[in-house]
Every structure is written in structure tokens, then in C-alpha cells.
Amino acid sequence: MPALILLRGLPGSGKTTLAKLLSENEKYPIHSIDAYFTDAETGAYNFDFEKNHLAYKQCEEQTLNSIKQGAEKIFIDNTFTIEWELEPYFKLAAQHHYQIFVLTVENRHGNKNIHSVSDEQLQKMAAKYKVVLF
């Protein structure tokens, strides 16, 4: 059965690095909200909160396109700090008969985030971060 794998964690935790590793150097598609804000030519990251909703929409659309193309594994690399951010992917997985996995990535290696998210903002994000127990 094909799988949708959501990598969640705070900025700097290593989600993107892990996604590349697990996708076997992007043999399987990787989608993220960060891609919307990253210049394809220069790699420069320019976050604009006013366009954040467009980034979420693009990531969901790209995921759906990968599903329609029959990708065996699809990786979504986002912070997913709030429950509603996960919901569209749960729906896509259910609608298209994909298994869904949520992997939490922790910053145990001590790296800093590359998006210049302040320590204060990281603390706010961490406070909202919930682990779901069933």
C-alpha cells in the first residue's frame, strides 16, 4: 500500500535532511511549505506571512498531484505544529487509500534553523506543539 509520510518538527530539527534521506535522494517526491518561499535558482528563502496560505495550498496541490501520479511514497516536510495543518493530508490519504505516518523530528543534533526563526518564535511554536496519543 502506498504511503504518505508527514515529517513534523520545529525549524532546525532536520526535517528536510531526513526527508531527503528517506526519499532516497528524492527518488520519491518531497513537498513542503518552505518550497513556496525558496527561489529555485538561488536557493534564497524569503518568507512572507501574507502568502503563507498560498504556500499551504500549493503543498497540498503538489501532494495530490503526486498521489494522482501513483507515487509509492510521498514525503511532506512541514512544521505541523498545529493539528489543523495535518488534517488535509489525513483526508487525502483516506480518499486515495494511502497509509499515513507522522514522524516527529527532534533537534538532538544541536543545529540552528536556516530560516532565521528567532528563539522567541521557536518557543511560541514549541508551546503550541502537541503530541497526539491514541
pLDDT above 60: residue 133: no
3 state SS of 5: strand
Tell me the three cell numbers of residue 113: 534553523
Q: Superfamily for 3-128?
A: P-loop containing nucleotide triphosphate hydrolases (3.40.50.300)
Coil, strand or helix: which one is 74? strand
Q: What is the mean pLDDT of the chain?
A: 88
pTM for the structure as a whole: 0.83
Question: What string of H, E and C letters represents the secondary structure of 87-123?
Answer: HHHHHHHHHCCCEEEEEECCCCCCCCCCCCCCHHHHH
H/E element, 85: helix 83-95
Using the structure block, give the residue that is written with the C-alpha cell 511514497. Answer: 73
State residue 106's pLDDT score.
Answer: 84
pLDDT, one tens digit per residue, over 33-72 is 999 999 989 988 888 989 999 999 999 999 999 999 999 9
Domain boundaries of the chain, sorted by first residue: 3-128
